[in-house]
Amino acid sequence: MAKTDTNVPKKNNAKREIEWAPGMPFGKINYILMLIGIAVLFIGYILLSGGGTDDSSQFSPAIFDTRRLVIAPVTLVAGFAIEFVAIMLKINRKSDTNE
């Protein structure tokens, strides 16, 4: 039987070390999509506003127009969808594959 050398380091999966902060968590495209999503949300909330009256005893039918009941909610859902995609999108960067 061959005697094993105790001074030789064992090869126990050297890649098992966890690197917690390898770099930026998102890429450039993710941040651009996040800014676009924030802008769409801002526009949606602006479309949702208004429709009130100066006199609280008077009723204003302006709160039931198409802009506030259809366009603004659709714009808000689109903005949140863009934000979801921006957060979940993972693009393989060349710097990640070379390491």
Domain-located, residue 29: yes
Domain-located, residue 9: no
Q: Are 67 and 47 contacting, i.e. CB atoms less than 8 angstroms apart?
A: yes
Domain that holds residue 38: 24-53+61-91
Q: Mention every residue, 6+ apart, whose C-beta is less than 8 A from residue 86.
A: 26, 30, 31, 33, 34, 36, 37
Q: pLDDT digit string (tens) for 33-54?
A: 999 999 999 999 999 998 777 8
The number of folded domains in the chain is 1
pTM of the model: 0.67
Q: pLDDT digit string (tens) for 86-99?
A: 999 987 755 544 44
Q: Is the pLDDT of residue 63 over 60?
A: yes
77-84 mean pLDDT: 98
Domain-located, residue 12: no
Domain-located, residue 5: no
Q: Are 37 and 87 contacting, i.e. CB atoms less than 8 angstroms apart?
A: no
What pLDDT shows up at residue 17? Answer: 56
Q: Are 51 and 65 contacting, i.e. CB atoms less than 8 angstroms apart?
A: yes
